[in-house]
Amino acid sequence: MKNILLIHTGGTISMQVNAETGAVVPSDSNPLLVEADKLNSLAHIIELEIFNLPSPHITPFEMFRIKELIDQYIDKGEIDGVVITHGTDTLEETAYFLDLTIGPAIPIVLTGAMRSANEIGSDGLYNLVSAIQVASSDDAVGKGVLVVLNDEIHTAVNVTKTHASNVSTFQSPQYGPIGFISKSIVYFHHTPNHQPVFPIQQINKKVALFKVYAGMEADLLEAAINVGYDGIVLEGLGQGNVPPSLVPAIQDLLAKDIPIVLVSRCFNGIAQDVYGYMGGGKGLKDLGVIFAQGLNGQKARLALLIALNHPDPKQALLSIFTR
């Protein structure tokens, strides 16, 4: 049997419905911690609760703590895989952060739940069992950080939460899952390309994310300069365009060596330097805006944050965003 490090961080998977108010709230004790016998039939489990937070409370600092903990166990050579239970709202961001900062030597799998532990049809324990099965699979080695819910296996780079409450919320637009779980079988139908890893020692930079909209004013970008942001991500229109009103502020940011990364706000497709009008992608790229192909805004923000915290930010930017 494999040795699996099981890290609990909180989220709906560890919450219960309050019988009086109907609100879903954190439990005094994580209900998953009493399932040790069931889990130990699947693998030798080393179980830790690093914190117990709803996922909207998780920041890159907590993500960095998880990374450091995993690194410690990998360095000891005591584990064959990692499973992390996590709230679903920011699960994809933690998964992608770890994907960029920890090498793929052992499987790392994140899972969560859309229904709390005492709701009818609770999916938490089932998803946890599936995640342990995947983390224990030899076929999961080298595939990067994975997300497992609802019998599907997704890559951290592509997966996103697509529905506010449905148990099949996690999807990978354009690509789909890379595998599935069926009873005791873990099956991968293809292997993803894996990107370089950027081990960082600290998080001390600030990156803002702005969703571009029709008629957007430039004052938000100008404010980002004044309050000390180190980088900006724009979720641009269509294939990577912005209203012309933003162009002077973009020029000011770039002149101050504040990198700007552009993604498309569209659910499918990628940002490209196609259009040549004022605010079009061609002119933005000529100014020095970086195009992040295939990432959504929240993941591009983490990628830029990690690059800026790397010992060689310029090289990290090239490696992460150049395809």
Same domain, 219 and 143: no
9 is catalytic: no
Query: What letter does residue 190 receive in the DSSP assignment?
Result: -
Same domain, 60 and 182: yes
Is residue 125 classed exposed, middle or buried when 0-12, 13-18 and 19+ CB atoms within 10 A define those classes? middle
Give the lowest-confidence range in 96-100, 110-114, 119-123.
119-123
Same domain, 35 and 160: yes
**Within a domain: 199:** no
pLDDT of residue 121: 75
Same domain, 116 and 211: no
Query: Rounded CA gap, 1 and 220, in Å?
Result: 54
pLDDT of residue 116: 81
pLDDT, tens digit, 9 for 90 and up, residues 80-101: 999 999 999 999 999 999 999 9
pLDDT of residue 20: 62
The CATH number given to whatever domain includes residue 277 is 3.40.50.40
Count of domains forming the chain: 2
Average pLDDT over residues 175-194: 93
Same domain, 176 and 221: no
Quick check: helix, strand or coil at residue 59? Answer: coil
CB 260 within 8 A of CB 289: yes
On average, the pLDDT of the chain sits at 92
For residue 251, give its domain range. 207-321
Local confidence band at 195 (pLDDT 50, 70, 90 cut-offs): confident
pLDDT of residue 123: 87
pLDDT, tens digit, 9 for 90 and up, residues 13-63: 776 666 566 666 666 666 666 666 778 889 999 999 999 999 999 999 999
* 91-124 core/surface letters (b: 16 or more CB in 10 A; e: else): bbbbbbbbbbbbebebbbbbbbbbbbbebeebbb
The CATH number given to whatever domain includes residue 43 is 3.40.50.1170
Local confidence band at 76 (pLDDT 50, 70, 90 cut-offs): very high
pTM above 0.85, yes or no: yes
Identified catalytic residue from 9, 12, 101, 155: 12
